[in-house]
Amino acid sequence: MHAFGFAAARTLPEALRLAAPDSAFLAGGTTLVDLMKLDVLTPDRVVDINRLPLRGIRSTRDGLRIGALERMSDVARHPAVHPVIAEALAQSASPQLRTMASIGGNLLQRTRCGYFRDVHTPCNRRQPGSGCPARTGDNRTHAVLGTSDACVATHPSDLAVALVALDASVRLVSHAGERLVRLAAFYRLPGDTPQVENDLRPGELITEVVVPRRPWARHSTYVKVRDRSSYEFALASAAVALDMRGGVIHEARVAAGGVGTVPWRLPAVEAALRGRPPTRASFEEAAASAADGARPLTENAFKVTLLKRTIVRALMSLEGGS
């Protein structure tokens, strides 16, 4: 762990003023401190933002607004929160971590790729141009969608999958002002620049998450498939929401986790569900395209099948398909 300066901000302007190019904001610290201990992150200054008033979970005309410093556990049990979000959170990490980790931090958590986390190995995401051992090395848990020759690391967040399914946005604030960015557009595919993970600009801070108002989206669920029952990342997960009208699917939202380099929205699956009855056949037909474009690696080809089955399982559990 490298030496760093520490400052605690009381207000948003103070936090933005304290931020510098090599600084990091500290909320729950569950990713940042971990990666600092591993020398993966070496900020010169850590700015504690926990005293900022970025709190509150409110249903408004614009939709559900969640302050960036709300803790995962508090959001998970709030009645205004959609089932798909609550379930994604409840199945994340461990109770201890959920009690510490913030919503903003969750969306910015870094990949669990073992090469990214080990500074003795090359990693294009950590050290651009150094190479990617995961493509031929230990890659059972890696991504099959959205990968590039430079990077195949899986995006680890469950929450982000649920939020991407619901068209959520993040509010970003910096000296330059404030902007609202759709979460789906916020995350960047690795391409040739895997070190650029998102649209966050230097010194910019996530202040809240906004989930658009859409009452039918309460008919939603999150299915997470993993090696053990708790405290483990997804091998595949599915966030689904269905707008049922007159016994057919009027509108659908489907996103997948554990399989992509970013939270993976599946518009083709959604389109294939529209106008169909909620049957196993409809679900399986729609899910058939879920892994289109997948590039399996040496140890994770099973994710192609697993992804489709996970989506069907999620749709079946939501709609009890016949």
Partner 1 sequence: MTDRVDGRLKVTGAATYAADNRLDRLAYGYLVTSTVARGTIVSMDTAAASKAPGVLAVYTPFDPLKLYRYTKEQNDELTPPLQDKNVRYFGQAIGLVVAETFEQARDAASLIQVRYDARPAAASFHDGLASATDPPSGSPISEVLAPGVGSIDDALNASEITVSATYTASMQNHNAMEPHPTVAAWDGDHLTLYTATQGVMLVVARIAEALGIDTSKIHVRNPYVGGGFGNKWGIWAHTPLTAAAARALGRPVKTALTREQTFTVVGHRPASQQTVSLGAARDGTLKAIKNDGVSSKSASNGFYEPVANLCLSMYASPNIRVSRKIVTLDVPVTTIMRAPQEANGSFALESAVDELAVKLGMDPLELRRKNDSPVVPSSGLPWSSKHLDECYRIGAERFGWSRRRPTPGAVTDGDWLVGLGMATATYGASRAQASVKVRLLAGGTAVVSGTGADLGTGQSTVWAILAAESLGIPVGRIRPDLGDSSSPVAANAGGSGSTSTNGPAVQLATEAAKTAMIALAVQDERSPFHGKAADSVRFEDGRLKAGDLSVPFGSLLTSLDVPGVEATATSAKNGDKTHGFRSFGAHFCEVRVNAWTGEPRVSRWLTVLDAGRIVNEKTARNQIIGGVVMGIGHALLEETRLEPATGRIANADLASYLVPVNADIPRIDVHFLDYPDTLLSPLGARGIGEFGIVGAAGAVANAIYNATGKRVRDLPITLEKLLT
Sheet with 45-48: strands ordered across: 5-8, 45-48, 23-26
**Quick one: tokens of 309?**
């089955």
User: Shortest approach of partner 1 to residue 24 CB, angstroms?
Assistant: 19
User: Shortest approach of partner 1 to residue 197 CB, angstroms?
Assistant: 20
Q: What is the DSSP string of 282-320?
A: HHHHHHTTTTTT----SS-THHHHHHHHHHHHHHHHHH-
User: Shortest approach of partner 1 to residue 157 CB, angstroms?
Assistant: 15
Q: Is 69 or 306 the residue whose CB approaches partner 1 more closely?
A: 306
User: Shortest approach of partner 1 to residue 185 CB, angstroms?
Assistant: 30
> What residues make contact with partner 1 under the rule CB under 8 A?
1-2, 39, 94, 112, 114, 120-121, 133, 136-138, 140-141, 225-232, 235-236, 302, 305-306, 309-310, 312-313, 316-317
Which uninterrupted H or E stretch holds 281?
Answer: helix 280-287
Q: Is 184 or 316 the residue whose CB approaches partner 1 more closely?
A: 316
What's the distance, CA 222 to chain centroid?
Answer: 13
Q: Is 44 or 227 the residue whose CB approaches partner 1 more closely?
A: 227
Q: Is 11 or 94 the residue whose CB approaches partner 1 more closely?
A: 94
User: Shortest approach of partner 1 to residue 141 CB, angstroms?
Assistant: 8
Q: Is 121 or 169 the residue whose CB approaches partner 1 more closely?
A: 121
Task: Map residue 62 onto helix, strand or coil.
Answer: coil
The one-letter amino acid code at 221 reads T
**The tokens 């009027």 sit on which residue?**
250
User: Shortest approach of partner 1 to residue 316 CB, angstroms?
Assistant: 8
Q: What is the DSSP string of 5-61?
A: EEEE-SSHHHHHHH--TTEEEESS-TTHHHHHHTTS---SEEEE-TTS----EEEET
Q: Is 83 or 133 the residue whose CB approaches partner 1 more closely?
A: 133
